[in-house]
């Protein structure tokens, strides 16, 4: 498992890329955080956690 701290621009790019490809799934959306499942079509799983304190990409 790999955890990466992302900048605001990196988060925007990831969301836009996956949204345009139809591979963005919002798992949870609350006042404090948004959690996305990023589907790339391979066996790996990627989760983007976007909070007010920071954004993290978790790859398994």
Asked if 44 and 51 count as a contact pair (C-beta separation under 8 A), the reply is no
State the total domains in the chain. 1
Q: What is the pLDDT of residues 1-60, one digit of tens each?
A: 999 999 999 999 999 999 998 888 899 999 899 999 998 777 678 999 999 999 999 998
Provide the whole-model pTM: 0.84
Q: What is the pLDDT of residues 9-24, one digit of tens each?
A: 999 999 999 999 888 8
Q: Which domain holds residue 50?
A: 2-59
Asked if 6 and 14 count as a contact pair (C-beta separation under 8 A), the reply is yes
């Amino acid at each position: 498992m790999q955890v990466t701290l992302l900048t605001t621009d990196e988060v925007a790019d990831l969301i836009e890329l996956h949204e345009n490809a139809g591979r963005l799934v919002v798992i949870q959306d609350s006042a404090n955080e948004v959690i996305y499942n990023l589907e790339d079509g391979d066996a790996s799983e990627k989760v983007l956690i976007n909070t007010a304190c920071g954004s993290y990409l978790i790859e398994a």
